[in-house]
C-alpha cells in the first residue's frame, strides 16, 4: 500500500541555502529574515559553539571532527523532523550537507542517504568567498573548497539541480547581498 511506504519522499516548501564555509550563508539568511521570511539558522554553528573546543583542537583531531559531524547530523535531522513541511522557509544548510562532511571524513553515509527522504523545494548553492575566521571555523581555504565541491556533489547525487548563486564580490556588502537575494527570490525562493 502506497501510504505505508516509509521510504517515499516527503516534499517540502523549504529552500536550502548551502555552500562552502564562509560563503556568506549566515549573512544571507539574516537578510532573508530581515525581509520577513521564516529562516532556520545553521545547526553546525550552534553545535560547534556548545562543544567548547577551539578551532585548532577540532582541526587537529579527526576523531573529534567525526563526533562533531555525527552530532550535527543528528541535530539537523531532529530539527527538520519538527518543521511543518508545508511552511515556506529557508534553511541555513540541511541534512544533505552532512553527507558531504561524512564522505570527506570517510564515515559511512548509508544511514544519512536512507534518511534523506525530505525533498526541498529549491537548493541554492552560494559560490565561495574568501575564508573568514570567526572563532568557530577550523577549515583552511583548501578545506573550504573541497567541502564546497563535496556539498554540491551530494545534492546533485540526491537528484537536486542546485541554483548556483554568484559571489558578487564588490566593495558594497549590502549591494552584494541584495544581488544574491535577487537571484534567490527571482528563482522561486
Tens-binned pLDDT, residue by residue, of the chain (189 aa): 344 446 788 999 999 999 998 888 999 999 999 999 999 999 887 877 787 777 778 777 889 888 988 999 999 999 999 999 999 999 999 999 999 999 989 999 888 887 778 999 999 999 987 656 655 555 667 888 899 999 999 999 999 999 999 987 767 888 889 999 999 999 987
Q: What are phi and psi of 122, to 5 degrees?
A: -145, 150
Task: Find cell 539558522 and name the residue.
Answer: 41
CATH of domain 12-186: 3.40.50.300
Annotate 116-145 with b (16+ C-beta within 10 A) or e (fewer): bebebebbbbbbbbebeeeebbbbeeebbe
| pLDDT score for 128 | 80
| pLDDT score for 40 | 96
| pLDDT score for 107 | 92
| pLDDT score for 132 | 61
Distance CA 167, CA 129 (A): 6
Return the DSSP state at 124.
E
| pLDDT score for 4 | 43
| pLDDT score for 140 | 66
Distance CA 169, CA 105 (A): 31
| pLDDT score for 151 | 95
Amino acid at each position: 500500500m502506497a501510504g505505508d511506504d516509509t521510504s517515499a519522499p516527503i516534499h517540502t516548501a523549504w529552500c536550502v541555502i548551502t555552500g562552502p564555509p564562509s560563503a556568506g550563508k549566515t549573512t544571507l539568511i539574516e537578510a532573508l529574515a530581515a525581509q520577513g521570511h521564516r529562516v532556520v539558522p545553521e545547526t553546525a554553528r550552534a553545535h560547534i559553539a556548545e562543544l567548547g573546543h577551539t578551532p585548532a583542537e577540532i582541526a587537529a583531531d579527526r576523531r573529534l571532527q567525526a563526533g562533531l559531524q555525527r552530532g550535527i547530523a543528528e541535530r539537523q535531522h531532529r530539527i527538520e523532523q519538527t518543521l511543518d513541511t508545508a511552511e515556506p522557509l529557508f534553511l541555513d544548510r540541511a541534512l544533505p550537507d552532512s553527507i558531504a562532511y561524512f564522505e570527506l571524513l570517510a564515515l559511512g553515509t548509508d544511514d544519512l542517504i536512507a534518511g534523506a527522504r525530505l525533498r526541498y523545494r529549491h537548493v541554492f548553492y552560494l559560490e565561495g568567498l574568501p575564508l573568514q575566521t570567526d572563532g568557530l571555523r577550523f577549515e583552511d581555504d583548501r578545506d573550504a573548497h573541497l567541502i564546497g565541491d563535496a556539498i554540491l556533489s551530494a545534492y546533485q547525487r540526491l537528484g537536486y539541480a542546485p541554483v548556483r548563486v554568484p559571489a558578487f564580490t564588490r566593495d558594497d556588502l549590502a549591494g552584494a547581498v541584495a544581488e544574491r537575494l535577487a537571484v534567490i527570490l527571482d528563482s522561486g525562493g
